[in-house]
Structure 1
Amino acid sequence: MFQDLKLHELLDLRQQKKVVTIDVRSPSEFEDATIPGSLNIPFFDDNERAEIGTIYKQVSIQAAKERGLEIFSAKLPSFIKEFSQIPGKKAVFCWRGGMRSKTTATVLSLMDIHVSRLEGGYRAFRQGVVQALDELAVLPTAYVLHGNTGSGKTAILRRLQQSGYPVLNFEELAGHRGSVFGNIGVKAHNQKKFDASLVDELLSIRQAPYLLFEAESKRIGKVVIPEQLLQLKEVGHQIWLEVPLETRVQHILEEYRPWEHQEACLKSFLQIKSRIHTPVAAEIDQCLKEEKYDRAVELLLVYYYDQRYAHTASGYNSENKTIIAAPSTEEAVEAIKQLLPT
């Protein structure tokens, strides 16, 4: 027989990388939000789930169960085979630890494939995430990275994180770059995905004496940063990058690859066009249409983003501040390493 896992037991196993979590909900449920790192082996696909839901509402619970059994029986061999190919300890979950995960665990145990089931399912995990964020109280010192648009802040954080530094990369967690062009070429995450990934990151660096993150605004794309982290940003040590304009232009071209997303770039530009001096806006528009992207980016930086950033920067206290002149990402990374506590 299978074993039920309480949420804290599953979280401990995940932290130790001793369990593979498997979401047996439908693909659309999985896509909306799941436990980070989970595999999806759906008990029902989206159409099957919709059909059973209709029968449940319009006919009866028993009729829905019978149709569900009929559908599941037909796919049982392939379903079992997928699980048999996953090595190590496995834990399954559905929405609230109900019929789908219970049936999965029961059938697999009969085939001598041992899995555990998460009590309360994904709903319990989501409640745990919300509680963990609500209880964010004592946080370590923050080192907060500032810099004009195109300074390479995300790339710098990524490299520091890969080197083992305690980094929170909000833009990667949000699947968005934090500007009107920020969703180009990436897939934005919803709040549930962001929250779950954020809690995962916080747990992985909970023993660190400090946190390092970018000075983001409250909202990034579709998600909102917790208030406790925004407050930490305000009182943290502020690191200001000074990067040459031409370097910033190149960073943006490499990151956004506008030649692959011309229509999306034009559409995004229309959202801010009215805020830019008319002759300059007209030139940017023309450059985008003529694929003169380096000039378009330069104009956007000088006449729009830099001015907005200067206004935001004026609101920070200059006492707890370090300026780093960084001609390249590599030099910025090394300079920040020298600044951080050992």
Structure 2
Amino acid sequence: MVRDITLTEALELQKNHSHTLVDVRSPKEYKEATIPGSMNIPIFTNEERAEVGMLYKQVGKQAAMDHGLVIFSKKLPEFIAEFRKIDTPITVFCWRGGMRSKTAMTVLELMGIRSSRISGGIHTYRQRVIARLQETIKPKLLVLNGYTGSGKTKILRKLMEDGYPVIDLEGMAGHRGSIFGQIGVEPNNQKKFELLIANKLERYENEPYIFIEGESKRIGQVHMPELLFEKKEQSPQWIIQLPVEVRVKEILSVYEPEKQPGLFIEAFTRIRKRIHRPIAVQIQEDLENERFTEAVEQLLTHYYDPQYEHSVARFATIDRDVIQVATVQEAYEECLHRYKELMK
């Protein structure tokens, strides 16, 4: 017997009770976007899903279902064993609450494992995300801004670790927001980026303030939702100012170019034409000879700092407050102090 529950009911069970949501789609689908906090026990691998899908298109639904049954029947013991590891009530879901989640429920029932499924599948969660991103953002935003290398992301993540409300755009995008931003991280697609933002906005809807970084609208390959971007642009800007040598060390510690020098040279070629030729030649030479301190300082002075000065000019009429300190730790402490003052 199929026991359907709504997405709202499933999220409430997950939030308020010991309850496990299981995404039975392929690992690739799960990785691209899923309901936060769910786990993945797939009916098909990525390759098997592609195989069944191709058969559906070329031959028909019944042939695809028959072949899918052959594949899945061989994996049943392993599939059931994974569910037996779960010691809470279970709700399964797939894309639209169709064949895969119904199949999962059926075999679980046969093996004495009760479960329910989300009516409409994760598609209903996608609709919820879109609706959330079109709602007015109630909390005020505290925007950390400043030159490249000012430790803004490190400050935000320290605040998040300490339990303060933070939207970490770079972490959600899987990109650090610069020409070198994709190095050492794995990018998320637009759907997952929006899902993560919507989840945070819902979580923090009753908070008076949320910390966020002063990112541009585009972060790598994803774009900030319109309402969030507009509110960020109109919110108070806390400008972190650190000495250049500290910023250089901060960048080197984050990116560790000595581990993948070739990737940095490759990334630099994409902006080389935008830098005055003698300087660009020197930066290229420094990168090739692994003089990363010199290369980073030149990049800051001749590329990133002028870009920042141009972009920050748009905040001429916005409340701006400079936080001039010697270290990232001091910047964190000052941000926290100001936040606590606002909360009084």
Q: TM-score range by the shorter chain?
A: over 0.9
Query: Mapping of 1:174-213 within 5 angstroms?
Result: 174-213=173-212
Q: Could you tell me which amino acid in structure 2 is paired with residue 86 of structure 1?
A: I
Q: CA deviation at 1:124?
A: 1.5
Q: What is the distance in 1 between the residues matched to 2:22 and 2:80?
A: 13
State the Cα distance separating 1:318 from its structure 2 match.
5.6
Specify whether residues 96 and 162 from structure 1 end up closer, same or farther in structure 2 by C-alpha distance, changes over 3 A only.
same
Q: Counterpart of 1:274 in 2: which secondary structure?
A: helix
Determine the structure 2 residue equivalent to 1:77: 77
Q: SS at 1:68's partner residue?
A: helix
Report SS of the residue matched to 1:195: helix
1:68-147 pair list within 5 angstroms: 68-134=68-134, 136-147=135-146
| Equivalent in the alignment of 1:42 | 42
Give 1:211 shift. Answer: 1.6
Residue 33 of structure 1 is matched in structure 2 by 33
Supply the AA of the counterpart residue of 2:96: R
On the 8 A contact 2:139/2:206 being kept in 1, the answer is: no
Which ranges in structure 2 are unaligned for 5 or more consecutive residues? none
Alpha-carbon distance in structure 2 between the residues aligned to 1:75 and 1:160? 44
Question: Compared with structure 1, are the counterparts of its residues 14 and 221 closer, same or farther at alpha carbon in structure 2 (3 Å cutoff)?
Answer: farther
Q: In the alignment, which residue of structure 2 is the partner of 1:307? A: 306
The question of 1:269 aligning with 2:268 is answered yes
Say what the alpha-carbon RMSD is for the aligned residues: 1.6
How much has 1:169 moved relative to structure 2?
A: 0.9
Question: Aligned pair 1:287/2:286, yes or no?
Answer: yes
Percentage of pairs with the same residue: 46
Q: Distance in 2 between matches of 1:59 and 1:184?
A: 43
Shift of 1:338: 1.5
Greater alpha carbon shift after TM alignment, 149-158 vs 194-203: 194-203
The equivalent residue for 1:167 is: 166
Once the two structures are superposed, what CA deviation does each residue of 1:269-306 show, in whole Å capped at 9, x if it has no partner? 00110111111111110111111111111110011100
Other structure's SS at 1:302 match: helix
Q: Which structure 1 segments of 5+ residues have no match?
A: none
Cα 1:329–1:18 shift into 2, 3 Å? farther
> What is the one-letter code of the residue matched to 1:59?
V
Which ranges of 4 or more aligned residues in structure 1 deviate by more than 4 Å? none
Match of 2:157 in 1: 158
Q: Amino acid of the residue matched to residue 73 of structure 1? A: S
Aligned to 1:317: 316
Amino acid at match of 2:225: P
- Kindly state the Cα deviation for residue 158 of structure 1 after the two structures are TM-superposed: 0.5
Letter in 1 for 2:53: G
Render the CA deviation track for 1:72-119: whole Å, top value 9, x for unaligned: 111101100011112223221111111110110121122122222111
SS of 2:77's equivalent in the other structure is helix
Q: Deviation per CA, 1:241-272: give whole Å up to 9, x if none.
A: 11011110111011111112212111110011
Q: Distance in 2 between matches of 1:68 and 1:31?
A: 22
State the number of aligned residues.
Answer: 341
Structure 1 residue 49: deviation in Å? 2.0
Which amino acid is 2:143 matched to? Answer: V
CA 1:188 to 1:54, structure 2 compared with 1: closer, same or farther past 3 Å?
closer
Please state whether the residue corresponding to 1:291 is helix, strand or coil.
Answer: coil
- The more displaced of 111-120 and 58-67 is 58-67
Q: Normalising by the residue count of structure 2, what TM-score does the alignment of the two structures yield?
A: 0.95
**Structure 1 residue 238: Cα displacement:** 1.3
Looking at structure 2, the residues matched to 14 and 270 of structure 1 have their Cα atoms a distance apart, in angstroms, of 48
TM-score between the two structures when normalised by the length of structure 1: 0.95
2:13 aligned partner: 13
Amino acid at match of 2:193: F
Q: Which residue of 1 aligns with 2:235?
A: 236
